[in-house]
Chains A and B, each alone.
Chain A
């Protein structure tokens, strides 16, 4: 992926709070270019998955109406030292 992505995970008890910030324009395909009057083609993230120790725990599907540079906060039950991906 070309876009930079930041991930932070914080353990509290047996809950891991995961925060993800993705740099992406999330173009809906409904805006018009003010100069040409043409619609700007849609370009947004459609699928995203979060894995814990190699197993997918969250699978997300998105539409174009998630904000530009999406932020995502999630909570997963996991043992200390578990690797998130």
Chain B
């Protein structure tokens, strides 16, 4: 039994070490100018607040815009499934990122568009509590954003 436990300890240690290596490797993802269909943006998706998530996306100097339409319910009964529809009327929309300000991990999704894809996304998201849904659009190298508050009666992030 003791021997077995020792083996388990060693395995656990080994696992931790491997985890550290993975973290070090992902640090390279912070580099700007990621190509389309690049690796999953770990630094942005694992950010615990909006500022860090935006930093991970490389979004700076974000300006408010009225040309981003967010269509979603004002009050969501179930935070686990909230339909959200985003339309960007900004010309040359390159990407749309959706964030929920008060989610444990605010960044929900990033959509990148090329050649003919329209700046439109409709999907369903989870929200832990009432908060602003923030949409950040990248167009012509600049960042624009819009927000809409969604009230959540039952959270959808578990707990």
Give the dominant DSSP class at A's interface: strand
Which among B6-14, B62-70, B100-108, B144-152 touches the partner chain? B100-108
Among candidates A30, A49, A59, A75, residue contacting B120 with C-beta atoms closer than 8 Å: A75
Among candidates A30, A58, A62, A72, residue contacting B108 with C-beta atoms closer than 8 Å: A62
B139 at the binding interface (Cβ < 8 Å): no
B49 at the binding interface (Cβ < 8 Å): no
Distance of A81 from chain B, by nearest CB (Å): 15
Question: B125 contacts A66, CB within 8 Å?
Answer: yes
CB within 8 Å: A-B pair count: 114
Distance of A54 from chain B, by nearest CB (Å): 12
B122 at the binding interface (Cβ < 8 Å): yes
A residues within 8 A CB of B110?
A: 60-62
Among candidates A47, A52, A71, A76, residue contacting B123 with C-beta atoms closer than 8 Å: A71
A35 at the binding interface (Cβ < 8 Å): no
Instruction: Say yes or no: A72-B122 contact (C-beta < 8 A), given A61-B40, A63-B45, A67-B81.
Output: yes
Seen from chain A, the residues whose Cβ lies within 8 Å of a Cβ on chain B are 15, 28, 30-32, 46-47, 49-50, 52, 55-68, 70-78
27 residue pairs of the A-B complex, CB under 8 angstroms, read: A15-B118, A30-B158, A31-B157, A49-B37, A52-B115, A52-B116, A55-B114, A56-B37, A56-B114, A57-B115, A59-B114, A60-B109, A61-B41, A61-B110, A62-B108, A62-B109, A63-B108, A65-B103, A65-B105, A66-B108, A67-B156, A71-B122, A73-B121, A74-B122, A75-B118, A76-B116, A78-B116
Seen from chain B, the residues whose Cβ lies within 8 Å of a Cβ on chain A are 36-37, 40-41, 45, 80-83, 85, 100, 103-105, 107-118, 120-127, 156-159
